[in-house]
Amino acid sequence: MRPAVYGFSGVPPFWPDARPVGPLPLDNPFGPRTRYARLNPAVREVIYPGGASYANGQWVISFGINDEHCALAIIPHTDVLRFTRPVTSPLGLAPAPHEPSLMTHR
């Protein structure tokens, strides 16, 4: 499983302002074994995001695992920043510097 994070500005048109440079450390607390036959045998393990919330310097991330389980992870914002880099000019248009975003918390 190799989950990544993207950041977007906090105002329309919500330009991307952070791109992944490595996977987030989201562990599978249930291990690689599954209870049921895989829905897609070509996929060994899968993780899919459910949502994320930021407060007090930490992210709470909800995610699904292998179409069988749900999990929560708490990741410090500093860890999220280690796995992202700023995007300075998406589509040739840079967001205004005052727009709130993932990068605002650097």
| Domain annotation covers residue 94 | yes
- Could you give phi then psi for residue 63, rounded to 5 degrees? -155, 155
- pLDDT digit string, tens, across residues 55-78: 999 999 999 888 888 999 999 999
- Could you give phi then psi for residue 80, rounded to 5 degrees? -60, -40
The pair of structure tokens assigned to 81 is 């920043």
Q: Number of structural domains, the chain?
A: 1
| Domain annotation covers residue 2 | no
- Is the per-residue pLDDT at 91 higher than 80? no
The answer to whether 3 and 49 are in contact (CB under 8 A) is: yes
pLDDT at 74: 93
Q: Tell me how far apart the alpha carbons of residues 84 and 94 are, in angstroms, rounded to a whole number.
A: 17
| Domain annotation covers residue 29 | yes
Name, in order, each residue with C-beta under 8 angstroms of 2's C-beta and a sequence gap of 6 or more: 23
Name, in order, each residue with C-beta under 8 angstroms of 56's C-beta and a sequence gap of 6 or more: none
Tell me what the mean pLDDT of segment 12-38 comes to. Answer: 83
Tell me what the mean pLDDT of segment 5-27 comes to. Answer: 85
| Domain annotation covers residue 1 | no
Radius of gyration of the chain (CA): 16
Range of the domain at 99: 7-105
Q: Give 4's strand partners.
A: none
- Is the per-residue pLDDT at 6 higher than 90? no
| Domain annotation covers residue 51 | yes
- Is the per-residue pLDDT at 106 higher than 60? no
pTM of the model: 0.71
More confident residue, 104 or 35: 35
